[in-house]
Amino acid sequence: FLRSDAVFDAANNPEIQFRSTSVTRTSDTTALVSGRLTARGKTFPEKFTAELGGLKAGTIKFHVTGKVLRSRYGMDVGTPIYSNIVDFDMTLTGKRG
């Protein structure tokens, strides 16, 4: 169901992209990441909070959270029965080299 044209329309839009436009440090271990999120061919500015999760042996981890209104991206099937707010909660890991 999530891949159908009612939600992500994965056949026509196989990728969701986020391109950061700024990162503002908010503490020693947190930052506000602003950028443009593209889903279903629609692009809107969004903001996410990133928290440093750790540095170890060339590896860095971030915990990233935020909220997005899915209706802006044409994914409003089921509203208002289902929430229009999508909670993002991701752990990102990067390795040097």
Residues 41-81: tens digit of each pLDDT: 999 999 999 999 988 988 999 999 999 999 999 998 988 89
Range of the domain at 75: 17-95
Is residue 33 within 8 A of residue 47, CB to CB? The reply is yes
Q: How far is CA 42 from CA 8, 18, 75, 91, 96, in A?
A: 11, 12, 11, 24, 32
Q: Locate 52 and state its tokens.
A: 């440093």
Q: Locate 57 and state its tokens.
A: 């042996």
What is the edge-to-edge ordering of all strands in the sheet holding 59-69? 17-25, 30-39, 42-56, 59-69, 85-95
pLDDT tens profile 4-42 = 888 888 999 999 999 999 999 999 999 999 999 999 999
Task: Give the pLDDT score at 19.
Answer: 92
Task: Give the pLDDT score at 42.
Answer: 95
Number of domains making up the chain: 1
Asked if residue 8 is part of any domain, the answer here is: no
Asked if residue 66 is part of any domain, the answer here is: yes
Asked if residue 12 is part of any domain, the answer here is: no
Asked if residue 1 is part of any domain, the answer here is: no
CATH number at residue 63: 2.40.128.110
